[in-house]
Chain A
Amino acid sequence: MNAEATPRTRTIITPASQPAMPPHIKFRHDAGRGRWHVLAPERVFEPDPIAIEILKRCDGVRTVEQIANELAKDYNAPLQEILTDTISMLQELSDKGVVKA
């Protein structure tokens, strides 16, 4: 079996991407431990406070730009900076299979 890898491609996150968590990713608040978890195949992630706010907005409808806008307003922070950080975080999450876009 020497076939080449199939041409599935890496998702690149842009301001227009509409990220969402696939059904097998469970983003949950763990009441016993008082923290949020992302449950993934044989993985448990502990999102930091910013990741939590981003993940809460990953509904497949809102664009990355809209998410960044909301965060910039809520945290009274410069939009461009927030947008750059949001894209880089979502790219990382996409590479880990936690979000699809």
Chain B
Amino acid sequence: MNEIAPMEQFSNSPVEAACARAPVGLLAELTHRCPLQCPYCSNPLELERVNTELTTAEWQDVMRQAAELGILQIHLSGGEPTVRKDLEDIVEVAAKAGLYTNLITAGVTLTRDRLKKLKDLGLDHVQLSIQDVDEANAEKISSYKDGLAKKRQLGKWVRELDMPLTINAPIHRLNIENLPNIINFAVELGAGRIEVANIQYYAWALKNRASLMPTRAQVLKSAEIVEEAKERLKGIMVFDFVVPDYYAKTPKPCMGGWGRGIMNVTPQGRVLPCHAAESLPGLEFDNVKDKRLADIWLNGQAFQKYRGTSWMKEPCRSCPRAEIDFGGCRCQAMAFTGDAANTDPACSFSPHHAAFVAAAEQESAVPKPPAFVYRRMSAAKPVPAK
């Protein structure tokens, strides 16, 4: 049974033909509000304000349009999606439209009653993110007190209500040594799936890269730990392992290829080919307030810009992997080389690859990493060192 390129996994297999007609997944960033301040947040540095968010009716219309377009799965995300009081109204419409609904939550704001209600309305799956299983460290990473206990409680409720649970564990320098305990935590909670997701360095994570980047040795060790656990927990817990591409030889097929399988709607209703696409110059993003989702997907300038392979330059253009990894990630190419149409520097054929790897090696070797710039609505200022 073939798997269609999923959200979180950057596999080496080409995206299935099923994507050609329509995307399979839509990431709905319902809000950028979040009680946590993780320094690797994938939201943009310029967070969108509450008074600019789409209304309930507008989000409900996005759900209906998504189903009509052929989208199969909706990932309700943020920020923290549960801070929207109308989450139930959005889930209800999404489920009725036939979408597979996935709630991506930090798990510190949801009550049992509300979770039960979401389940009754048709919520299919809960993905709970954790910062670490060491309380003090979790607090340091998220800048939020007692989060771990709340997360553990939510995980228990999810299982009590007989809903499937995924633990999402973003991995970086500050928690990579705790990986075995993180895996055990997921098993104890009864998760059927775990994402051991090394941080991808965009937006806040790129800003904090020097504080977050693990060493190559740590990454190799973590891969061994995952391999061992995968075998030991076969049939008990499914693993997704996302490697940090700074230490890879070939780039990830970012988003399964630009404009190929996934679309992203921001709190304000802007439709992006990936959540970091606003960091690229020269793209025009349509808004669901102005245009139909299907029109944006098929004809939107931002979706057309890097779709397929015709935009590629060398070494991508003549590369046998051109339709496997699609030149990697446009945002990383832009951030590191200054041209979004360049090969992703994670690729060993990129002339920037050596400098890219060196940056990771140098930063991860610094004994005392710099203080975090926490994810905040206000201007991003570093926290003074104590």
Cα A8 to Cα B8 with chains together (Å): 26
Give chain A interface residues in 1-48, CB to chain B under 8 Å.
1-6, 8-11, 22-24, 26, 30, 32-33, 35, 37-39, 41-48
**CB distance B3 to A43 under 8 Å?**
yes
**CB distance B1 to A8 under 8 Å?**
no
Residues of B within 8 A of A9 (CB): 235-236
**CB distance A42 to B233 under 8 Å?**
no
Residues of A within 8 A of B233 (CB): 5
**CB distance A10 to B234 under 8 Å?**
yes
Q: B171 to nearest A CB, angstroms? A: 17
A1-B133, A30-B72, A39-B72 as given contacts; A46 in contact with B166, CB under 8 Å: no
Cα A86 to Cα B87 with chains together (Å): 41
Task: Say if the beta carbon of B111 comes within 8 Å of chain A.
Answer: no
Cα A48 to Cα B164 with chains together (Å): 25
Task: Say if the beta carbon of B309 comes within 8 Å of chain A.
Answer: no
**CB distance A11 to B235 under 8 Å?**
yes
Residues of B within 8 A of A24 (CB): 124-125, 163-164
**CB distance B187 to A2 under 8 Å?**
no
**CB distance A95 to B234 under 8 Å?**
yes
The 8 A CB mask of A33-74 against B (1 = contact, 0 = none) is 101011101111111100100000000000000000000000
**CB distance A1 to B192 under 8 Å?**
no
A32-B21, A35-B18, A93-B1 as given contacts; A42 in contact with B102, CB under 8 Å: yes
A9-B236, A42-B127 as given contacts; A51 in contact with B3, CB under 8 Å: no
**CB distance B193 to A41 under 8 Å?**
yes
A5-B188, A6-B188, A8-B236 as given contacts; A44 in contact with B164, CB under 8 Å: no
Task: Say if the beta carbon of B7 comes within 8 Å of chain A.
Answer: yes
Cβ 8 A contact of B2, one of A23, A45, A97: A45
Cα A4 to Cα B8 with chains together (Å): 27
Residues of A within 8 A of B146 (CB): none
Give the size range of B's interface with the partner: 35 or more
- The tally of CB-CB contacts under 8 A between chains A and B is 109
Residues of A within 8 A of B72 (CB): 30, 37, 39, 44
Q: B128 to nearest A CB, angstroms? A: 12
A10-B234, A41-B124, A47-B1 as given contacts; A33 in contact with B18, CB under 8 Å: yes
Cα A46 to Cα B17 with chains together (Å): 10
**CB distance A42 to B163 under 8 Å?**
no
Task: Say if the beta carbon of B185 comes within 8 Å of chain A.
Answer: yes
Cα A23 to Cα B8 with chains together (Å): 23
Per DSSP, chain A at the interface is: loop
**CB distance A46 to B16 under 8 Å?**
yes
Residues of B within 8 A of A43 (CB): 3, 6
Give chain B interface residues in 169-193, CB to chain A under 8 Å.
181, 183-185, 187-188, 190, 192-193
Cβ 8 A contact of B187, one of A5, A26, A46, A94: A5
Q: A62 to nearest B CB, angstroms? A: 19
Residues of B within 8 A of A2 (CB): 181, 184
Name the residue of chain A whose CB is nearest to the CB of B2. A46
Residues of B within 8 A of A4 (CB): 184
The 8 A CB mask of B17-28 against A (1 = contact, 0 = none) is 010011011000
Task: Say if the beta carbon of B276 comes within 8 Å of chain A.
Answer: no
Pick the 7 closest A-B CB pairs, nearest first: A10-B235, A41-B125, A5-B187, A39-B100, A44-B4, A95-B235, A24-B164
Q: List 16 A-B contacts (CB under 8 A).
A: A9-B235, A10-B235, A32-B22, A37-B4, A37-B18, A39-B124, A41-B124, A41-B164, A42-B125, A42-B166, A44-B3, A44-B4, A44-B25, A45-B1, A45-B4, A51-B1
Extra contacts, 11 of them, besides A38-B1, A45-B4, A95-B235 (Cβ < 8 A), are A3-B188, A8-B187, A23-B162, A32-B70, A41-B124, A41-B193, A42-B75, A44-B4, A46-B1, A47-B1, A97-B238
Instruction: Write the residues of chain B forming the contact surface with A, with a CB cutoff of 8 angstroms.
Output: 1-4, 6-8, 16, 18, 21-22, 24-25, 70, 72-73, 75, 100, 102, 124-125, 127, 133-134, 162-164, 166, 181, 183-185, 187-188, 190, 192-193, 232-236, 238
